[in-house]
Amino acid sequence: MRRTPLRLRQLCERISKLKQVLNVEVAVDDKYKPDVVAMDRRRGRPQFWGEAGAVGPDKTEHLVTAYPDTHLAFSKWDRSLDAVRDPVDRAAQTADRTAPIDLFRVPADGAERFVDAKGRIAVSRDDLTWVRVGPADG
């Protein structure tokens, strides 16, 4: 029997878990609305919650503490990650999180570099400033 390397197996498991539909700007059972969300249909809770642009510290802290098992992602376009990192760090200290929080910065020329003439996006993690807070394998 051929053995699959652990990292490849983990990647395959993660891909199969993420075969969720990503929805944009849809309401969930929360006072806040995500920019992008993937719902866990069995539990009726977000599996992934993405925010782009301006997010206040109250919303940031709420998401970090209210959704400890949801992978959160906050993106900033040509802005420092410090404004979102501080409330994330504060809230993460009080929450028993099992899922990661990713903070990433898109460079100023991101539209020219990552979006083609047909509107297709091609970007890799190495193209962005990326910080992970919390569990690395969430």
- The burial class, CB within 10 Å (0-12 / 13-18 / 19+), for 104 is middle
Residue 82 backbone phi and psi in degrees, to 5: -60, -40
Asked whether residue 52 is assigned to any structural domain, the reply reads yes
Average pLDDT over residues 115-126: 87
Q: How confident is the model at residue 105 (pLDDT cuts 50, 70, 90)?
A: very high
Give the separation between CA 134 and CA 100, rounded to whole angstroms.
Answer: 5
Q: How confident is the model at residue 121 (pLDDT cuts 50, 70, 90)?
A: confident
Give the separation between CA 103 and CA 80, rounded to whole angstroms.
Answer: 10
Tell me the whole-structure pTM to 2 decimals: 0.80
Give the separation between CA 129 and CA 82, rounded to whole angstroms.
Answer: 12
For 16-68, the pLDDT digits (tens) are 555 567 788 888 999 999 999 999 888 889 999 999 888 899 999 999 999 99
* Percent of the chain at pLDDT exceeding 90: 49
Asked whether residue 53 is assigned to any structural domain, the reply reads yes
The parent domain of residue 25 ranges over 21-133
Asked whether residue 2 is assigned to any structural domain, the reply reads no
Q: Provide the domain count of the chain.
A: 1
